Chains A and B, each alone.
Chain A
Amino acid sequence: MAKTLAEKVWDDHLVRSASGEPDLLYIDLHLIHEVTSPQAFDGLRLANRAVRRPDLTIATEDHNVPTLNIDKPIADPVSRLQVDTLRKNCQEFGIRLHSLGDVEQGIVHVVGPQLGLTQPGMTIVCGDSHTSTHGAFGALAFGIGTSEVEHVLATQTLPLTRPKTMAINVEGSLKPGVTSKDIILAIIAKIGTGGGQGYILEYRGSAIRALSMEARMTICNMSIEAGARAGLIAPDETTFAYLKDRPHAPKGEDWEKALSYWRELKSDSDAKFDKEITLDADQLSPFVTWGTNPGQGIALDGVIPSPQDFTDPEEVSAAERALVYMDLKAGTPMKKIKIDTVFLGSCTNGRIEDLRAAAEIIKGKKVASDIRMMVVPGSARVRLQAEAEGLDKLFLEAGAEWRSAGCSMCLGMNPDQLAPGERSASTSNRNFEGRQGKGGRTHLVSPLVAAATAIRGTLSSPADL
C-alpha cells in the first residue's frame, strides 16, 4: 500500500499495534532539558524505576540559563535549583549532560542536529513543543509533556494514536530577501493556529527542496504554531551532505547502510494525504506578525488589519483583543511600527546561517540609537563558529550585544526579558501575550527583517535600507 513519509517512519517504529488501544512506538532519541524533566525523574524514583536507555538520551541546559557572565553561578536561586536538579538527575541516572560552559551546550534543538544525533527516519521526542524542528531531517519529531517524558525514560516507548497527514506544497522560488521564516509565517497565517491540529505536516515542493538544512529546520520548528505536533521534510542530498562526518553520524559501512535506508524515506507518488494545501513561493514577501498569536501575520508591506476584516466571530474578538494588547491601530502600515528591542536567536533562527544573513545586512552600519539589539547564538558551537568568522565583531561594531547560548528572550524564563510595554522584533516563534516578559509586545520576523529593523528603528526589510 502506498504510504506517506510520516506513515513509513511511524510503521518502522511500531513495537505493538492492536485494535482498541493506541500504537506503541519506539523512541530513537530522547532530548532533555531542565524545565520539563524534574517531575519525571521524581516519578522514576518514587516507583523505583531506572532509565531504560541512557545511551539514547541526552540533556542540555537552555531555558533558564543566563546569556551573560555564564562563568558565575546562576543568580536567580529558583532557576539555579532547576538547573542543579537536572545535573543531579543526570548524574544519578547516567545521562549525558552538556552544562552551561560546555562547548556542546546550547538550545536542545540546535545541539541535536549539530552533533549528528538527529538523522532521517528516526523518532525523536523532547519535553518541548519545538522538537518538531528535527523533522527537517525526515525524522518524526514532536514535543511531549512531563508524564510522557517519564514514560520514555522508563520504557523508551510512547503510546500514541496515529495522526492524519497533511501535505503542504510550496512551489516556485523565493525572491531575494524572502526566507524560510517568511514561508512558515505565511503558512500559519493561511491555515491558522489550529489548522494543523491532529495532523503531521509534510512540507514539499520545489521551494522546500531548494532550502538549506538550517532553513528547513526553521520551517519544521514552527509546525507547532500551526497546531501540528510534528512537521517533516523528505531527506535528500542536502540532508546527507549536512550529516556526513558529524560526530554521531554513521561512519564507513554503516554510512552506506544508513544511506540506502534514508533514500527510501519519501512519500510514495500515489500516497494519499488526508489534506493538501499549496503555497506559491514566488508570491511571498517578508512576513511579520501584528497580533498575539502566530497566525495573526501579514506581509511587511501591508497595513494592520481591522477586526471587521475577519468573518469568524472568534477571530474578530481575538483581533480586537490583540490590537488592544499590542497598542496598535487598524490601518497603520506595518513599516511605521516603532521597535524598542531586536532579538536575533532562538531554536527557530539562532543558527550560523541566521547569524551570517543578519551580519551581512548589519555590516558597516549602526543599530539605531534607541534600539537594543541582542544577538544570541543557539549553541556554544554556533557562537564559536560565528567568532571564527568575525561575525561577533560586525554585530558589536554596529552596536548590538553579543551573548552566550541559550533560549534567552524567546521566553521569559531567564534574565533576558522585555519590560512591560516594550516592543520587540524577534526571530523567535511565539508572539503570545507576555511571552518575552510580562506586558511585552512581540512581532515575529525573519533574521533579515530583524537586522534591517535594528538599523532603521521601525519594522523594515533589507530593501528599505
Chain B
Amino acid sequence: MEKFISHTGSALPLKRSNVDTDQIIPAVYLKRVTRSGFEDGLFAAWRSDPEFVLNKPEYSKASILVAGADFGTGSSREHAVWALQNYGFKVVISSRFADIFRGNSLKAGLLTVILGQSDVEALWSAIEEEPSLEIKVDLDTRLVSYKNQAISFDLDDYTRWRLMEGLDDIGLTLRKIDEVENFEEKRAKYKPKTLPVLS
C-alpha cells in the first residue's frame, strides 16, 4: 500500500447526508474482477444530471470529497472505496461514516476524516466561494488546514502508523501467526467444519 503522510488538493462539496454505497457505486457496476476501472460507476445515477456537483467544471480537479453525515451506509462493497480512489479522490471528509465503509477505506488507503458538522459546513462554504481552494490534510499532525484555519481530527495511533508506513494488515498479522496456531490448538473440537461435506 502507498504511504499516506499528507495530501494537498482542492475539494468537492457533496451536500447530502446518508449517501449509501448503492449511490457511490450501483450494484450493476460491481461485476469487474479487478481492483481498477470502477470510476465509471462512481455516483452513476446522479451523474446523468448535468447539475450534479461532480459534473461541474470548477470541481474537475478535486481530490478531496467533503460529504454530509452518514456517508457510506449500506452494503459492505469495498468497490465504493475503489470507485472513489479510481476517480482520483484521496480523502473523504464527513461528520459521520458508516462503520464498514470507514474500515474498508482505511484498509485500502483512502483517508476518511471525521470533522464536526459545523466544520464540514464551514468547509462547504469556503469551497463554494473558491472552488480551487487548497486544502491540506496532514496525517502527521492530524490537521485539516485551509486559509488561516487548522482543524484537528482524531484517528487512532495504530491506524495512523499503518497508513503512514503504508503497511498492509495481512503482513502484520502473519508476523504473529504462531499466536494463531496456539489459538487453533485450543479451539473446541465440536466447532463445525465445512469439509468434508455432510448432508
* Residues on the B chain within 8 Å of A439, using CB: 45
> Chain B's nearest CB lies how many Å from the CB of A431?
10
Please state if A247 and B173 are interface contacts (CB–CB under 8 Å).
Answer: no
In the complex, what distance in Å separates the CA atom of A36 from the CA atom of B21?
14
Interface positions, chain B 90-137, Cβ under 8 Å from A, are 96, 98-100, 103-104, 107-108
Residue from the list A15, A122, A434 in contact with B191, Cβ < 8 A: A122
**Size band of the interface chain B makes with A:** 35 or more
> Could you show 27 A-B contacts with beta carbons less than 8 Å apart?
A24-B173, A24-B176, A42-B33, A42-B35, A43-B170, A63-B27, A79-B31, A96-B197, A119-B191, A128-B75, A143-B76, A143-B100, A144-B100, A147-B107, A151-B170, A156-B180, A161-B156, A224-B74, A229-B99, A248-B193, A248-B194, A248-B198, A249-B192, A317-B17, A321-B16, A430-B74, A438-B26
CB neighbors of A among B1-59 (8 A): 16-18, 20, 22-23, 26-28, 30-35, 45
Q: Contacts A229-B99, A412-B26 known; A193 to B70 CB distance under 8 Å?
A: yes
* Cβ-defined contact, A56 with B193, below 8 A: yes
B73 within 8 A of A: yes
In the docked arrangement, what's the CA distance between A78 and B34, Å? 12
Contacts of B76 on A, CB cut-off 8 Å?
Answer: 36, 127-129, 131, 143-145
Q: Is the CB of B96 within 8 A of A155?
A: no
Closest partner residue, chain A, to B69 (CB atom): A314
Chain A 114-147 interface mask (CB, 8 Å, partner B; 1/0): 0011010010000111010000000000111111
Q: Is A106 an interface residue (CB 8 A)?
A: no
CA distance A21 to B75 in the complex (A): 26
> Does A258 reach chain B (CB closer than 8 Å)?
yes
1/0 per residue, CB under 8 A from A, across B157-199: the answer is 1100000000001101110110110111001111111110111
Q: Which residues of A contact B28 (CB under 8 A)?
A: 412-413, 438
Judge if A73 is at the interface, Cβ distance under 8 Å: no
User: Chain A residues near B69 (CB, 8 Å)?
Assistant: 194, 314
Asked if B81 is at the interface (CB within 8 A of a chain A CB), the reply is: yes
B77 an interface residue at 8 Å Cβ cutoff? yes
Residues of A within 8 A of B98 (CB): 194, 197, 227
Closest to B197 in A: A96
Contact between chains at B34 and A39 (CB < 8 Å) = yes
Q: Decide if A147 touches B194 in the complex (CB within 8 Å).
A: no
Docked Cα-Cα span, A163 to B96, in Å, equals 16
Within 8 A of B (CB), among A161-188: 161, 163
Contact call A64/B99, Cβ cutoff below 8 A: no
A 25-53 to B, binary, CB cutoff 8 A, 1 in contact else 0: 01011000001101100110001010010
Instruction: Please list the residues of chain B having a beta carbon within 8 angstroms of any beta carbon in chain A.
Output: 16-18, 20, 22-23, 26-28, 30-35, 45, 68-70, 73-79, 81, 96, 98-100, 103-104, 107-108, 156-158, 169-170, 172-174, 176-177, 179-180, 182-184, 187-195, 197-199
Of B17, B96, B187, B195, which one neighbours A26 at CB under 8 angstroms? B187
A249-B192, A293-B20 known; 8 new pairs, CB 8 Å cut-off, are A24-B180, A26-B180, A79-B31, A155-B177, A156-B180, A250-B192, A411-B27, A413-B28
* In the complex, chain A residues whose CB is within 8 Å of the CB of B190: 250, 254-255, 257-258
Q: A residues 91-130 with Cβ under 8 Å of B?
A: 96, 116-117, 119, 122, 127-129
Q: Any chain B CB within 8 A of the CB of A154?
A: yes
Binding site for B on A (CB under 8 A): 15-16, 20-22, 24, 26, 28-29, 35-36, 38-39, 42-43, 47, 49, 52, 54-58, 63-64, 76, 78-79, 81-82, 85, 96, 116-117, 119, 122, 127-129, 131, 142-148, 150-151, 154-157, 159, 161, 163, 193-194, 197-198, 224, 227-229, 247-250, 254-255, 257-258, 261, 293, 314-315, 317-318, 321, 411-413, 430, 432-435, 438-439
- Contact check, A20 vs B157: say whether CB atoms are below 8 A apart: yes
Contact A159 B20 (CB under 8 A): no
- Inter-chain CA distance A51–B180, complex, in Å, is 14
In the bound complex, residues from chain B placing their C-beta under 8 Å from that of A163 are: 99
CB–CB A193/B18 < 8 A:
yes
Residue among A42, A128, A318 facing the most chain B CB atoms (10 A cut-off):
A318
The answer to whether A254 touches B81, judged by C-beta atoms less than 8 angstroms apart, is: no
* CB nearest to A59 among chain B residues: B194
Q: Across the interface, do A261 and B26 meet the contact criterion of CB distance under 8 Å?
A: no
Q: Are B78 and A433 in contact (CB under 8 A)?
A: no
Total inter-chain residue pairs, C-beta < 8 Å: 215
In the A-B complex, the 5 residue pairs with the smallest Cβ-Cβ separation, listed nearest first, are A145-B104, A145-B78, A143-B76, A38-B33, A254-B190
- A64 to B104: give the CA distance in the assembly, Å: 23
Which residue of chain A lies nearest to B189 when distances are taken between CB atoms in the complex?
A254
Report how far A193 CA is from B17 CA in the complex, Å.
11
| Closest A residue by C-beta to B99 | A229
Contact A293 B27 (CB under 8 A): no
CB–CB A229/B100 < 8 A: yes
Supposing A129-B75, A145-B104, A155-B174 touch, asked if A194 and B96 sit within 8 A by C-beta, the answer is yes
Known: A24-B176, A36-B76. Contact between A81 and B33, CB under 8 A? yes
A117 proximity list for chain B (CB < 8 A): 192, 194
Cβ–Cβ contact B194 & A96, under 8 A: yes
What B residues does A434 contact at CB under 8 A? 22-23, 26, 45
Q: How far is the CA of A308 from the CA of B45 in the complex (A)?
A: 27
Residues on B with beta carbons closer than 8 Å to the beta carbon of A317: 16-17
A36 B96 Cβ-Cβ under 8 A: no
Q: How far is the CA of A47 from the CA of B174 in the complex (A)?
A: 12
CB contacts (< 8 Å) of B198 on chain A: these are 247-248
Q: A58-B194, A155-B180 are in contact. Are A39 and B26 (CB under 8 A)?
A: no
Q: Is the CB of B173 within 8 A of A438?
A: no
CB < 8 Å neighbour of B180 from A38, A157, A198: A157
Is the CB–CB distance between B194 and A57 below 8 Å?
yes
Which residue from chain A places its CB closest to the CB of B81 in the assembled complex?
Answer: A145
Q: Is the beta-carbon distance between A432 and B23 smaller than 8 angstroms?
A: yes
Contact call B158/A26, Cβ cutoff below 8 A: no
